[in-house]
Amino acid sequence: MNVLHDVLQFIINALSLGGLYALMALGLVIVYGILRLVNFAYGELVMVAGYTLLMLGAGPIPWLIVAVISIGMAVLTSLLLERVAFRPVRQASATTMLITSFAVSALLQNMAILFISPRAKAVTTPSFFTENFQVGDLLISKGNLASLVVSLVLLGLLTLFLRRTLLGIALRAAADDFVMTRLVGIRANQVIATAFAISGFLAGVVALFWIGRLGSVGPFVGSTPVLVAFVAAVVGGMESLTGAVIGGYLLGALTVGLQLMLPQSLLDYRQAFVFAIVLLVLLFRPQGLVRGTATAERV
Amino acid sequence: MLNVENIHAGYGAIIALRGVSLHVEAGELVGLVGANGAGKSTLMATIAGVLRPTRGEITFEGQSLLGLSPEEILRRGIALVPEGRRIFPSLTVGENLRLGATIRRDQKGVERDIEEMCTRFPILGKRFHQAGGTLSGGEQQQLAIARALMSRPRLLMMDEPSLGLSPILVDEVFAMIVQLRASGVTVLLVEQNVERTLDIADRVYLLNTGRVECEGVPEQLRKQVDIVGAYLGDVRGREVSG
Protein backbone atom coordinates (compact mmCIF):
# COMPACT_ATOMS: atom_id res chain seq x y z
CA MET A 1 0.00 0.00 0.00
CA ASN A 2 2.75 2.35 0.96
CA VAL A 3 4.70 1.53 -2.20
CA LEU A 4 1.66 2.06 -4.40
CA HIS A 5 1.07 5.36 -2.67
CA ASP A 6 4.65 6.42 -3.34
CA VAL A 7 4.52 5.34 -6.95
CA LEU A 8 1.28 7.24 -7.62
CA GLN A 9 2.63 10.29 -5.87
CA PHE A 10 5.79 10.05 -7.96
CA ILE A 11 3.86 9.71 -11.22
CA ILE A 12 1.67 12.71 -10.52
CA ASN A 13 4.56 14.92 -9.42
CA ALA A 14 6.83 13.78 -12.24
CA LEU A 15 4.17 14.38 -14.89
CA SER A 16 3.42 17.76 -13.38
CA LEU A 17 7.00 19.03 -13.18
CA GLY A 18 7.96 17.19 -16.37
CA GLY A 19 5.10 18.78 -18.27
CA LEU A 20 6.28 22.19 -17.18
CA TYR A 21 9.85 21.35 -18.19
CA ALA A 22 8.61 20.01 -21.52
CA LEU A 23 6.83 23.28 -22.25
CA MET A 24 9.99 25.21 -21.35
CA ALA A 25 12.13 23.06 -23.63
CA LEU A 26 9.62 23.29 -26.47
CA GLY A 27 9.65 27.07 -26.33
CA LEU A 28 13.39 27.02 -26.78
CA VAL A 29 13.56 24.30 -29.43
CA ILE A 30 10.79 25.66 -31.64
CA VAL A 31 12.95 28.72 -32.32
CA TYR A 32 16.23 26.79 -32.39
CA GLY A 33 14.90 24.38 -34.99
CA ILE A 34 14.38 27.19 -37.46
CA LEU A 35 17.06 29.77 -36.69
CA ARG A 36 19.67 27.62 -34.96
CA LEU A 37 19.42 30.20 -32.22
CA VAL A 38 19.48 29.17 -28.57
CA ASN A 39 17.47 32.08 -27.29
CA PHE A 40 18.81 32.66 -23.79
CA ALA A 41 16.48 35.63 -23.46
CA TYR A 42 13.72 33.02 -23.23
CA GLY A 43 13.97 33.15 -19.44
CA GLU A 44 13.24 36.87 -19.53
CA LEU A 45 9.95 36.16 -21.27
CA VAL A 46 9.03 34.21 -18.14
CA MET A 47 10.16 37.24 -16.16
CA VAL A 48 8.02 39.65 -18.19
CA ALA A 49 4.97 37.46 -17.68
CA GLY A 50 5.88 37.23 -14.00
CA TYR A 51 6.06 40.99 -13.52
CA THR A 52 2.75 41.38 -15.30
CA LEU A 53 1.29 38.94 -12.78
CA LEU A 54 2.86 40.99 -10.00
CA MET A 55 1.52 44.32 -11.20
CA LEU A 56 -1.99 43.30 -12.13
CA GLY A 57 -2.40 40.44 -9.68
CA ALA A 58 -2.94 42.68 -6.66
CA GLY A 59 -5.62 44.71 -8.44
CA PRO A 60 -9.31 44.03 -8.90
CA ILE A 61 -8.97 42.07 -12.15
CA PRO A 62 -9.86 38.37 -11.88
CA TRP A 63 -6.76 36.15 -11.84
CA LEU A 64 -7.70 34.26 -14.99
CA ILE A 65 -7.78 37.49 -17.00
CA VAL A 66 -4.50 38.60 -15.45
CA ALA A 67 -3.04 35.24 -16.49
CA VAL A 68 -4.21 35.74 -20.08
CA ILE A 69 -2.75 39.26 -20.15
CA SER A 70 0.55 37.95 -18.73
CA ILE A 71 0.80 35.31 -21.45
CA GLY A 72 -0.04 38.01 -23.98
CA MET A 73 2.79 40.18 -22.66
CA ALA A 74 5.27 37.32 -23.03
CA VAL A 75 4.09 36.78 -26.63
CA LEU A 76 4.38 40.49 -27.41
CA THR A 77 7.85 40.70 -25.89
CA SER A 78 8.97 37.64 -27.82
CA LEU A 79 7.69 39.13 -31.11
CA LEU A 80 9.29 42.46 -30.27
CA LEU A 81 12.65 40.83 -29.56
CA GLU A 82 12.50 38.96 -32.84
CA ARG A 83 11.76 42.15 -34.75
CA VAL A 84 14.21 44.46 -32.96
CA ALA A 85 17.07 42.23 -31.85
CA PHE A 86 17.18 39.00 -33.83
CA ARG A 87 15.95 39.89 -37.31
CA PRO A 88 18.81 42.33 -37.97
CA VAL A 89 21.40 39.63 -37.18
CA ARG A 90 19.58 36.74 -38.81
CA GLN A 91 22.01 36.61 -41.72
CA ALA A 92 24.98 36.69 -39.37
CA SER A 93 26.65 33.66 -37.82
CA ALA A 94 25.02 31.47 -35.19
CA THR A 95 27.51 32.85 -32.68
CA THR A 96 26.39 36.42 -33.34
CA MET A 97 22.81 35.43 -32.72
CA LEU A 98 23.76 33.57 -29.54
CA ILE A 99 25.64 36.59 -28.19
CA THR A 100 22.71 38.82 -29.15
CA SER A 101 20.45 36.61 -27.08
CA PHE A 102 22.79 36.91 -24.07
CA ALA A 103 22.85 40.68 -24.52
CA VAL A 104 19.06 40.88 -24.69
CA SER A 105 18.80 38.66 -21.64
CA ALA A 106 21.20 40.83 -19.62
CA LEU A 107 19.49 44.01 -20.81
CA LEU A 108 16.06 42.86 -19.70
CA GLN A 109 17.33 41.60 -16.34
CA ASN A 110 19.06 44.90 -15.68
CA MET A 111 16.01 46.86 -16.69
CA ALA A 112 14.08 44.90 -14.10
CA ILE A 113 16.75 45.60 -11.49
CA LEU A 114 16.79 49.30 -12.33
CA PHE A 115 13.12 50.06 -12.79
CA ILE A 116 11.47 47.53 -10.52
CA SER A 117 13.71 46.12 -7.83
CA PRO A 118 16.83 44.01 -7.53
CA ARG A 119 14.99 41.86 -5.04
CA ALA A 120 12.26 39.33 -5.66
CA LYS A 121 8.77 40.46 -4.81
CA ALA A 122 5.95 38.34 -3.51
CA VAL A 123 3.24 37.65 -6.05
CA THR A 124 -0.30 37.10 -4.91
CA THR A 125 -1.20 33.83 -6.50
CA PRO A 126 -4.64 32.31 -6.16
CA SER A 127 -4.91 30.02 -3.15
CA PHE A 128 -5.57 27.34 -5.72
CA PHE A 129 -1.83 26.79 -6.20
CA THR A 130 -1.17 25.89 -2.60
CA GLU A 131 -4.31 23.90 -1.93
CA ASN A 132 -4.35 20.14 -1.76
CA PHE A 133 -7.03 17.60 -1.97
CA GLN A 134 -7.23 14.07 -0.72
CA VAL A 135 -7.90 11.00 -2.81
CA GLY A 136 -7.80 8.00 -0.51
CA ASP A 137 -4.57 8.61 1.36
CA LEU A 138 -3.05 10.40 -1.63
CA LEU A 139 -2.44 14.10 -1.20
CA ILE A 140 -2.61 15.92 -4.51
CA SER A 141 -1.69 19.55 -4.98
CA LYS A 142 -4.16 21.40 -7.17
CA GLY A 143 -1.34 23.43 -8.68
CA ASN A 144 0.48 20.26 -9.69
CA LEU A 145 -2.63 18.74 -11.15
CA ALA A 146 -3.33 21.92 -13.10
CA SER A 147 0.16 22.06 -14.59
CA LEU A 148 -0.07 18.36 -15.45
CA VAL A 149 -3.36 18.84 -17.29
CA VAL A 150 -2.47 22.16 -18.90
CA SER A 151 0.84 20.88 -20.25
CA LEU A 152 -0.77 17.77 -21.72
CA VAL A 153 -3.54 19.83 -23.32
CA LEU A 154 -1.06 22.32 -24.75
CA LEU A 155 1.15 19.57 -26.12
CA GLY A 156 -1.91 18.09 -27.79
CA LEU A 157 -2.98 21.42 -29.26
CA LEU A 158 0.53 22.18 -30.46
CA THR A 159 0.74 18.78 -32.13
CA LEU A 160 -2.56 19.43 -33.88
CA PHE A 161 -1.33 22.83 -35.02
CA LEU A 162 1.93 21.41 -36.35
CA ARG A 163 0.23 18.52 -38.16
CA ARG A 164 -3.02 19.98 -39.41
CA THR A 165 -2.43 23.61 -40.36
CA LEU A 166 -0.43 24.89 -43.30
CA LEU A 167 1.47 27.26 -41.03
CA GLY A 168 2.28 24.43 -38.65
CA ILE A 169 3.53 22.21 -41.46
CA ALA A 170 5.57 25.16 -42.71
CA LEU A 171 7.15 25.48 -39.25
CA ARG A 172 8.24 21.86 -39.33
CA ALA A 173 9.49 22.27 -42.88
CA ALA A 174 11.49 25.33 -41.88
CA ALA A 175 13.23 23.28 -39.21
CA ASP A 176 14.15 20.73 -41.90
CA ASP A 177 15.44 23.17 -44.51
CA PHE A 178 14.83 26.87 -44.13
CA VAL A 179 15.96 28.03 -47.57
CA MET A 180 13.85 25.38 -49.25
CA THR A 181 10.85 26.53 -47.23
CA ARG A 182 11.27 29.96 -48.80
CA LEU A 183 11.67 28.37 -52.23
CA VAL A 184 8.21 26.83 -51.95
CA GLY A 185 6.88 30.29 -51.23
CA ILE A 186 6.54 30.36 -47.46
CA ARG A 187 7.36 33.82 -46.15
CA ALA A 188 10.41 33.62 -43.93
CA ASN A 189 9.34 36.43 -41.62
CA GLN A 190 5.94 34.92 -41.05
CA VAL A 191 7.31 31.51 -40.08
CA ILE A 192 9.93 32.98 -37.76
CA ALA A 193 7.46 35.34 -36.12
CA THR A 194 5.11 32.40 -35.54
CA ALA A 195 7.91 30.42 -33.89
CA PHE A 196 8.70 33.36 -31.60
CA ALA A 197 5.01 33.84 -30.79
CA ILE A 198 4.65 30.19 -29.79
CA SER A 199 7.87 30.44 -27.79
CA GLY A 200 6.51 33.50 -25.96
CA PHE A 201 3.18 31.80 -25.39
CA LEU A 202 4.86 28.77 -23.81
CA ALA A 203 7.06 31.02 -21.67
CA GLY A 204 3.93 32.82 -20.49
CA VAL A 205 2.17 29.59 -19.52
CA VAL A 206 5.32 28.33 -17.82
CA ALA A 207 5.51 31.61 -15.88
CA LEU A 208 2.04 31.11 -14.42
CA PHE A 209 2.95 27.78 -12.89
CA TRP A 210 6.58 28.48 -12.14
CA ILE A 211 5.81 31.71 -10.31
CA GLY A 212 2.79 30.03 -8.78
CA ARG A 213 5.18 27.50 -7.25
CA LEU A 214 7.73 30.09 -6.19
CA GLY A 215 5.27 32.68 -4.98
CA SER A 216 7.58 35.49 -6.01
CA VAL A 217 9.11 37.17 -9.02
CA GLY A 218 12.51 38.84 -9.40
CA PRO A 219 14.91 39.85 -12.14
CA PHE A 220 16.45 36.38 -12.27
CA VAL A 221 13.28 34.36 -12.07
CA GLY A 222 13.83 33.18 -15.64
CA SER A 223 17.30 31.77 -15.20
CA THR A 224 16.22 28.39 -13.85
CA PRO A 225 13.52 27.84 -16.49
CA VAL A 226 15.90 28.69 -19.32
CA LEU A 227 18.59 26.43 -17.89
CA VAL A 228 16.13 23.58 -17.41
CA ALA A 229 14.78 24.13 -20.91
CA PHE A 230 18.25 24.06 -22.37
CA VAL A 231 19.29 20.91 -20.53
CA ALA A 232 16.03 19.13 -21.35
CA ALA A 233 16.39 20.11 -25.00
CA VAL A 234 20.00 18.95 -25.17
CA VAL A 235 19.15 15.63 -23.52
CA GLY A 236 16.15 15.09 -25.76
CA GLY A 237 17.87 16.31 -28.91
CA MET A 238 17.99 19.98 -29.88
CA GLU A 239 16.65 19.35 -33.35
CA SER A 240 13.52 17.50 -32.48
CA LEU A 241 10.35 18.83 -30.89
CA THR A 242 9.50 15.32 -29.73
CA GLY A 243 12.97 15.15 -28.23
CA ALA A 244 12.36 18.36 -26.28
CA VAL A 245 9.16 16.94 -24.82
CA ILE A 246 10.81 13.64 -23.90
CA GLY A 247 13.78 15.50 -22.42
CA GLY A 248 11.45 17.67 -20.37
CA TYR A 249 9.50 14.79 -18.90
CA LEU A 250 12.68 12.83 -18.25
CA LEU A 251 14.26 15.71 -16.42
CA GLY A 252 11.08 16.23 -14.43
CA ALA A 253 10.91 12.56 -13.48
CA LEU A 254 14.59 12.58 -12.55
CA THR A 255 14.24 15.63 -10.34
CA VAL A 256 11.16 14.30 -8.57
CA GLY A 257 12.65 10.81 -8.31
CA LEU A 258 15.81 12.04 -6.66
CA GLN A 259 13.75 14.18 -4.33
CA LEU A 260 11.99 11.04 -3.15
CA MET A 261 14.95 8.70 -3.05
CA LEU A 262 17.87 10.75 -1.86
CA PRO A 263 18.51 10.75 1.86
CA GLN A 264 17.80 14.03 3.61
CA SER A 265 21.51 14.87 3.95
CA LEU A 266 22.04 14.71 0.17
CA LEU A 267 18.87 16.50 -0.85
CA ASP A 268 20.69 19.80 -1.23
CA TYR A 269 22.82 18.25 -3.93
CA ARG A 270 19.87 17.07 -5.96
CA GLN A 271 20.73 19.29 -8.91
CA ALA A 272 24.27 17.92 -8.97
CA PHE A 273 22.88 14.40 -9.27
CA VAL A 274 20.51 15.50 -12.02
CA PHE A 275 23.32 17.01 -14.03
CA ALA A 276 25.62 14.04 -13.44
CA ILE A 277 22.96 11.78 -14.95
CA VAL A 278 22.49 14.24 -17.82
CA LEU A 279 26.23 14.07 -18.46
CA LEU A 280 26.09 10.29 -18.53
CA VAL A 281 23.24 10.34 -21.04
CA LEU A 282 25.16 12.72 -23.26
CA LEU A 283 28.31 10.59 -23.08
CA PHE A 284 26.42 7.74 -24.68
CA ARG A 285 24.12 9.79 -26.91
CA PRO A 286 25.80 13.07 -27.76
CA GLN A 287 23.05 13.88 -30.27
CA GLY A 288 20.46 13.65 -27.54
CA LEU A 289 17.91 10.89 -27.23
CA VAL A 290 15.96 11.79 -30.37
CA ARG A 291 17.93 12.50 -33.47
CA GLY A 292 16.88 15.42 -35.61
CA THR A 293 16.22 15.27 -39.32
CA ALA A 294 19.41 17.09 -40.19
CA THR A 295 21.43 14.21 -38.77
CA ALA A 296 19.15 11.36 -39.75
CA GLU A 297 18.67 12.31 -43.37
CA ARG A 298 18.86 9.44 -45.78
CA VAL A 299 20.42 9.92 -49.19
CA MET B 1 10.16 35.09 -70.94
CA LEU B 2 13.29 34.97 -68.78
CA ASN B 3 16.15 37.29 -69.52
CA VAL B 4 19.46 37.13 -67.70
CA GLU B 5 21.88 39.86 -68.62
CA ASN B 6 25.53 40.07 -67.67
CA ILE B 7 25.05 38.54 -64.23
CA HIS B 8 27.96 38.55 -61.78
CA ALA B 9 27.58 36.68 -58.53
CA GLY B 10 29.58 34.77 -55.99
CA TYR B 11 29.98 33.64 -52.41
CA GLY B 12 32.05 36.15 -50.49
CA ALA B 13 35.42 36.42 -52.19
CA ILE B 14 34.71 33.53 -54.54
CA ILE B 15 33.31 34.72 -57.85
CA ALA B 16 31.14 32.06 -59.45
CA LEU B 17 29.49 33.98 -62.29
CA ARG B 18 31.39 36.44 -64.45
CA GLY B 19 28.91 38.10 -66.73
CA VAL B 20 26.45 35.39 -67.74
CA SER B 21 23.68 36.24 -70.18
CA LEU B 22 20.94 33.89 -71.30
CA HIS B 23 17.30 33.91 -72.23
CA VAL B 24 14.48 31.42 -72.14
CA GLU B 25 11.39 31.86 -74.30
CA ALA B 26 7.93 30.64 -73.37
CA GLY B 27 7.48 26.97 -74.19
CA GLU B 28 11.17 26.30 -74.63
CA LEU B 29 13.24 23.58 -73.04
CA VAL B 30 16.63 25.15 -72.48
CA GLY B 31 19.59 23.14 -71.28
CA LEU B 32 22.45 24.50 -69.25
CA VAL B 33 25.51 22.25 -69.24
CA GLY B 34 29.03 22.51 -67.95
CA ALA B 35 31.50 20.89 -65.61
CA ASN B 36 31.43 20.94 -61.84
CA GLY B 37 32.03 24.46 -60.60
CA ALA B 38 31.06 26.08 -63.88
CA GLY B 39 28.45 28.14 -62.06
CA LYS B 40 25.30 26.35 -63.13
CA SER B 41 23.81 25.95 -59.68
CA THR B 42 24.89 29.46 -58.72
CA LEU B 43 23.00 30.81 -61.70
CA MET B 44 19.90 28.87 -60.67
CA ALA B 45 20.17 30.12 -57.09
CA THR B 46 20.60 33.68 -58.35
CA ILE B 47 17.52 33.52 -60.58
CA ALA B 48 15.51 31.97 -57.73
CA GLY B 49 16.51 34.82 -55.41
CA VAL B 50 18.55 32.77 -52.95
CA LEU B 51 21.70 34.62 -53.99
CA ARG B 52 21.98 38.32 -54.78
CA PRO B 53 23.97 39.14 -57.92
CA THR B 54 26.65 41.83 -57.59
CA ARG B 55 25.98 43.10 -61.09
CA GLY B 56 23.62 42.51 -63.97
CA GLU B 57 19.89 42.28 -64.55
CA ILE B 58 17.33 39.50 -64.44
CA THR B 59 13.86 40.04 -65.85
CA PHE B 60 10.92 37.67 -66.01
CA GLU B 61 8.03 38.52 -68.31
CA GLY B 62 9.40 42.01 -68.58
CA GLN B 63 9.73 42.68 -64.86
CA SER B 64 12.96 42.83 -62.92
CA LEU B 65 13.53 40.12 -60.34
CA LEU B 66 16.46 41.83 -58.69
CA GLY B 67 16.10 42.35 -54.97
CA LEU B 68 13.05 40.10 -54.71
CA SER B 69 12.94 37.38 -52.06
CA PRO B 70 12.73 33.71 -53.09
CA GLU B 71 9.12 33.57 -51.86
CA GLU B 72 8.23 36.54 -54.09
CA ILE B 73 9.99 35.13 -57.15
CA LEU B 74 8.05 31.88 -56.79
CA ARG B 75 4.86 33.97 -56.79
CA ARG B 76 5.95 35.48 -60.11
CA GLY B 77 5.86 31.96 -61.56
CA ILE B 78 9.38 30.51 -61.30
CA ALA B 79 9.83 27.28 -59.37
CA LEU B 80 13.14 25.59 -58.62
CA VAL B 81 13.85 21.91 -58.18
CA PRO B 82 17.13 22.40 -56.37
CA GLU B 83 20.28 20.40 -56.48
CA GLY B 84 20.14 17.46 -54.11
CA ARG B 85 16.32 17.42 -54.25
CA ARG B 86 15.93 18.94 -50.81
CA ILE B 87 12.58 17.50 -50.00
CA PHE B 88 11.50 18.01 -46.39
CA PRO B 89 12.64 14.73 -44.81
CA SER B 90 10.54 14.84 -41.64
CA LEU B 91 7.36 15.78 -43.49
CA THR B 92 5.17 13.18 -45.14
CA VAL B 93 5.00 12.97 -48.92
CA GLY B 94 1.53 14.51 -48.74
CA GLU B 95 2.76 17.41 -46.61
CA ASN B 96 5.64 18.02 -48.99
CA LEU B 97 3.18 18.26 -51.86
CA ARG B 98 0.82 20.47 -49.86
CA LEU B 99 3.63 22.91 -49.09
CA GLY B 100 4.51 23.03 -52.76
CA ALA B 101 1.14 24.73 -53.23
CA THR B 102 1.66 27.26 -50.43
CA ILE B 103 1.05 30.22 -52.72
CA ARG B 104 -2.26 28.93 -54.00
CA ARG B 105 -5.60 29.77 -52.44
CA ASP B 106 -7.77 27.38 -54.47
CA GLN B 107 -8.12 24.57 -51.94
CA LYS B 108 -10.11 22.40 -54.34
CA GLY B 109 -7.62 22.81 -57.16
CA VAL B 110 -4.75 21.98 -54.83
CA GLU B 111 -6.40 18.76 -53.74
CA ARG B 112 -7.10 17.86 -57.36
CA ASP B 113 -3.47 18.55 -58.28
CA ILE B 114 -2.21 16.41 -55.40
CA GLU B 115 -4.31 13.55 -56.73
CA GLU B 116 -3.00 14.20 -60.20
CA MET B 117 0.61 14.09 -58.96
CA CYS B 118 -0.10 10.76 -57.31
CA THR B 119 -1.38 9.43 -60.62
CA ARG B 120 1.54 10.84 -62.54
CA PHE B 121 4.06 9.58 -59.97
CA PRO B 122 2.35 6.46 -58.57
CA ILE B 123 5.06 5.90 -55.97
CA LEU B 124 4.08 9.19 -54.31
CA GLY B 125 0.53 7.95 -53.91
CA LYS B 126 1.82 4.71 -52.45
CA ARG B 127 4.07 6.49 -49.95
CA PHE B 128 1.68 9.36 -49.31
CA HIS B 129 1.76 9.11 -45.51
CA GLN B 130 5.42 8.17 -45.25
CA ALA B 131 8.11 10.64 -44.20
CA GLY B 132 9.97 12.10 -47.17
CA GLY B 133 13.29 11.10 -45.64
CA THR B 134 12.42 7.42 -45.94
CA LEU B 135 12.12 7.62 -49.73
CA SER B 136 14.87 6.41 -52.04
CA GLY B 137 16.83 8.88 -54.16
CA GLY B 138 14.72 8.34 -57.24
CA GLU B 139 11.49 8.65 -55.28
CA GLN B 140 12.73 11.82 -53.66
CA GLN B 141 13.52 13.25 -57.07
CA GLN B 142 9.99 12.57 -58.22
CA LEU B 143 8.69 14.19 -55.06
CA ALA B 144 10.91 17.24 -55.57
CA ILE B 145 9.63 17.71 -59.11
CA ALA B 146 6.02 17.12 -58.11
CA ARG B 147 6.38 19.58 -55.24
CA ALA B 148 7.70 22.24 -57.61
CA LEU B 149 4.84 21.60 -60.04
CA MET B 150 2.28 22.08 -57.26
CA SER B 151 2.83 25.84 -57.45
CA ARG B 152 1.82 25.71 -61.13
CA PRO B 153 4.96 27.48 -62.30
CA ARG B 154 5.27 29.04 -65.74
CA LEU B 155 8.99 28.41 -65.64
CA LEU B 156 10.39 25.29 -64.00
CA MET B 157 14.10 25.28 -63.22
CA MET B 158 15.64 21.90 -62.54
CA ASP B 159 19.11 21.55 -61.09
CA GLU B 160 20.65 18.18 -61.95
CA PRO B 161 17.53 16.07 -61.62
CA SER B 162 19.40 12.96 -62.74
CA LEU B 163 22.17 13.26 -60.18
CA GLY B 164 22.73 10.14 -58.15
CA LEU B 165 20.05 8.13 -59.90
CA SER B 166 20.37 4.69 -61.44
CA PRO B 167 20.43 4.57 -65.27
CA ILE B 168 16.85 3.38 -65.45
CA LEU B 169 15.72 6.24 -63.27
CA VAL B 170 17.75 8.69 -65.34
CA ASP B 171 15.77 7.52 -68.38
CA GLU B 172 12.57 8.05 -66.45
CA VAL B 173 13.54 11.54 -65.34
CA PHE B 174 14.42 12.62 -68.87
CA ALA B 175 11.20 11.13 -70.23
CA MET B 176 9.37 13.07 -67.55
CA ILE B 177 11.04 16.33 -68.56
CA VAL B 178 10.04 15.82 -72.18
CA GLN B 179 6.51 15.12 -71.03
CA LEU B 180 6.42 18.23 -68.85
CA ARG B 181 7.55 20.39 -71.70
CA ALA B 182 4.90 18.83 -73.95
CA SER B 183 2.30 19.82 -71.37
CA GLY B 184 3.29 23.44 -71.82
CA VAL B 185 5.74 24.08 -68.98
CA THR B 186 8.80 26.11 -69.89
CA VAL B 187 11.88 24.36 -68.57
CA LEU B 188 15.40 25.49 -67.74
CA LEU B 189 17.40 22.35 -67.14
CA VAL B 190 20.84 22.18 -65.55
CA GLU B 191 22.63 18.93 -66.27
CA GLN B 192 26.01 17.28 -66.22
CA ASN B 193 24.66 14.68 -68.56
CA VAL B 194 25.47 16.62 -71.74
CA GLU B 195 24.51 13.93 -74.23
CA ARG B 196 21.05 13.41 -72.80
CA THR B 197 20.45 17.13 -72.52
CA LEU B 198 21.41 17.69 -76.15
CA ASP B 199 18.88 15.00 -77.06
CA ILE B 200 15.89 16.75 -75.58
CA ALA B 201 16.66 20.49 -75.40
CA ASP B 202 15.59 23.19 -77.86
CA ARG B 203 18.67 25.23 -77.10
CA VAL B 204 21.68 24.65 -74.93
CA TYR B 205 24.13 26.90 -73.11
CA LEU B 206 27.58 25.65 -72.22
CA LEU B 207 28.88 27.28 -69.08
CA ASN B 208 32.54 27.27 -68.18
CA THR B 209 34.13 28.88 -65.12
CA GLY B 210 31.39 31.42 -64.75
CA ARG B 211 31.00 32.39 -68.39
CA VAL B 212 28.85 31.22 -71.29
CA GLU B 213 31.29 29.32 -73.48
CA CYS B 214 28.87 28.77 -76.34
CA GLU B 215 25.15 28.51 -76.99
CA GLY B 216 22.92 27.26 -79.72
CA VAL B 217 20.63 24.50 -80.89
CA PRO B 218 21.85 20.99 -80.02
CA GLU B 219 23.14 20.29 -83.56
CA GLN B 220 25.32 23.37 -83.39
CA LEU B 221 26.76 22.34 -80.06
CA ARG B 222 27.34 18.79 -81.24
CA LYS B 223 29.51 20.16 -84.04
CA GLN B 224 31.56 21.90 -81.43
CA VAL B 225 31.90 18.61 -79.61
CA ASP B 226 35.65 19.14 -79.40
CA ILE B 227 35.07 22.07 -77.15
CA VAL B 228 32.63 20.09 -75.08
CA GLY B 229 35.11 17.25 -74.83
CA ALA B 230 37.92 19.57 -73.93
CA TYR B 231 36.05 21.12 -71.07
CA LEU B 232 34.04 18.24 -69.77
CA GLY B 233 36.03 15.13 -70.49
CA ASP B 234 33.99 12.01 -70.97
CA VAL B 235 30.82 13.10 -69.33
CA ARG B 236 28.85 10.00 -70.10
CA GLY B 237 31.13 7.78 -68.13
CA ARG B 238 31.12 10.03 -65.10
CA GLU B 239 30.40 8.36 -61.80
CA VAL B 240 28.13 10.35 -59.59
CA SER B 241 27.96 10.26 -55.88
CA GLY B 242 24.95 11.39 -53.95
Q: What pLDDT, in 10s, does the model give residues B102-152? A: 999 999 999 999 999 999 889 999 999 999 999 988 899 999 999 999 999
CA distance A299 to chain B (A): 6
Contact residues on chain A for B141, CB-CB shorter than 8 A:
none
Q: What is the pLDDT of residue A45?
A: 97
Q: What is the pLDDT of residue B235?
A: 46
Q: Which domain holds residue B205?
A: 2-83+154-232
Query: Within a domain: residue B51?
Result: yes
pLDDT band at B38 (very low <50, low <70, confident <90, very high): confident
Query: Within a domain: residue B108?
Result: no
Contact residues on chain A for B95, CB-CB shorter than 8 A:
169, 172-173
- Total domain count, chain A: 1
C-beta atoms surrounding A256 within 10 Å: 21
Q: Give the pLDDT confidence of A138-165 residue by residue, as tens digits.
A: 888 888 899 999 999 999 999 999 999 9
Q: What is the pLDDT of residue B242?
A: 35
Over residues B181-197, mean pLDDT: 90
Q: What is the pLDDT of residue A205?
A: 96
Q: What is the mean pLDDT of chain A?
A: 90
pTM of the model: 0.88
**With 70 as the cut, is the pLDDT of residue A255 above it?**
yes
- Total domain count, chain B: 1
Q: What is the pLDDT of residue A3?
A: 81
Q: Which of B210, B205, B235, B202 is nearest to B14 (CA)?
A: B210
Query: Within a domain: residue B112?
Result: no
Q: What is the pLDDT of residue B239?
A: 41
Q: Which domain holds residue A222?
A: 2-296
A164 touches chain B (CB under 8 A): no
What's the CATH code of the domain at A172?
1.10.3470
A183 to B80: CB separation less than 8 angstroms, yes or no: yes
pLDDT band at B234 (very low <50, low <70, confident <90, very high): very low
pLDDT band at A293 (very low <50, low <70, confident <90, very high): low
**With 50 as the cut, is the pLDDT of residue B237 above it?**
no
Q: What is the pLDDT of residue B240?
A: 39
Query: Within a domain: residue B54?
Result: yes
What's the CATH code of the domain at B216?
3.40.50.300
Q: What is the pLDDT of residue A287?
A: 84
Q: Which residue has the higher pLDDT, B172 or A38?
A: A38
Nearest CA in chain A to B50: A179
pLDDT band at A43 (very low <50, low <70, confident <90, very high): very high
Query: Within a domain: residue B170?
Result: yes
Q: Give the pLDDT confidence of B58-89 residue by residue, as tens digits.
A: 999 999 999 999 999 999 999 999 998 999 99
